[in-house]
């Protein structure tokens, strides 16, 4: 089963992704986590991605599509993946489609997490002080929310047109939201 978690920064994709991964045994792949590890390890990918991430901008599609190709082609991904934080642009979504089509697979579910903006900002500022993520500075937070609206939100219509989209109310307790997710994907 191929599941995409779509939603603004702070909407709870990572938290819910980990729960779905544990329930299904499918790997959760987060491009954000992979990029942060690459930056930390100062790999060529990390060096290319670093300043985009710090500014709250998307890492360019040419770079990300190579990374997506790499992760979707691993044996671990053969039976399904929980995709957290990608695709984030229409070009990335088309690349995911192409890669899955090569193995006669397709996206089964796309979940969008709906959370009011004030709550998103509150969560992201809280995370900044807990985890010290450099892109959780107030200016970068505003930028990331704007980038989400401009570049990623169009994917909602893209997947709605295909009938695979479910909107999940992203407020409430983690358990309540997890129940909504489980109902949406039928696990």
143 catalytic? Reply is no
Site for ligand ADP contains 135 (CB under 6 A): yes
117 catalytic? Reply is no
| Token pair belonging to 89 | 């642009």
Measured from the CB atom, the residue of 42 and 183 that comes closer to ligand ADP is 42
- Residue 4 near residue 162, CB atoms below 8 Å: no
Binding mask 38-57 for ligand ADP (x = CB under 6 A): --------------xx--xx
88 catalytic? Reply is yes
23-95-113-46 Cα dihedral, nearest 10 degrees:
80
Site for ligand ADP contains 85 (CB under 6 A): yes
Measured from the CB atom, the residue of 38 and 186 that comes closer to ligand ADP is 38
Q: Indicate the SS3 state at residue 132.
A: coil
Site for ligand ADP contains 17 (CB under 6 A): no
Q: Indicate the SS3 state at residue 106.
A: coil
Measured from the CB atom, the residue of 10 and 170 that comes closer to ligand ADP is 10
13 catalytic? Reply is yes
Site for ligand ADP contains 28 (CB under 6 A): no
Question: Treating both helix axes as pointing N-terminal to C-terminal, what angle do 31-40 and 44-54 enclose, rounded to 10 degrees?
Answer: 110
Q: How far is the CB of 54 from ligand ADP (least distance, A)?
A: 8
CA atoms lying within 13 Å on the CB side of residue 73: 10
Q: How far is the CB of 11 from ligand ADP (least distance, A)?
A: 8
Q: CA–CA separation, 17 vs 178, rounded Å?
A: 9
Measured from the CB atom, the residue of 149 and 183 that comes closer to ligand ADP is 149
Q: Which of 32, 71, 155, 159 binds ligand ADP (CB under 6 A)?
A: 32
- Residue 38 near residue 49, CB atoms below 8 Å: yes
Residue nearest to ligand ADP (CB): 32
Neighbours of 27 (CB within 10 A): 16
- Residue 24 near residue 1, CB atoms below 8 Å: yes
Active site residues per annotation: 13, 88, 127, 133, 144
């Amino acid at each position: 089963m191929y599941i995409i978690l779509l939603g603004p920064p702070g909407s709870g994709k990572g938290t819910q992704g980990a729960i779905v991964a544990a329930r299904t045994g499918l790997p959760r792949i987060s491009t954000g986590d992979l990029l942060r590890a690459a930056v930390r390890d100062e790999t060529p990918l990390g060096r290319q991605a670093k300043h985009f991430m710090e500014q709250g901008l998307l890492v360019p599609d040419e770079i990300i599509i190579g990374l997506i190709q790499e992760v979707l082609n691993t044996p671990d991904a053969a039976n399904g993946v929980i995709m957290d934080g990608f695709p984030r642009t229409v070009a990335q979504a088309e690349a995911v489609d192409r890669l899955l089509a090569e193995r006669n697979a397709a996206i089964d579910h796309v979940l969008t997490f709906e959370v009011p903006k004030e709550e998103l900002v509150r969560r992201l500022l809280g995370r900044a002080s807990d985890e010290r993520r450099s892109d959780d500075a107030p200016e970068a937070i505003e930028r990331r929310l704007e980038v989400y609206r401009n570049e990623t939100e169009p994917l909602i219509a893209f997947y709605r047109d295909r009938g695979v989209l479910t909107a999940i109310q992203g407020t409430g307790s983690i358990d309540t939201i997890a129940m909504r997710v489980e109902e949406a994907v039928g696990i």
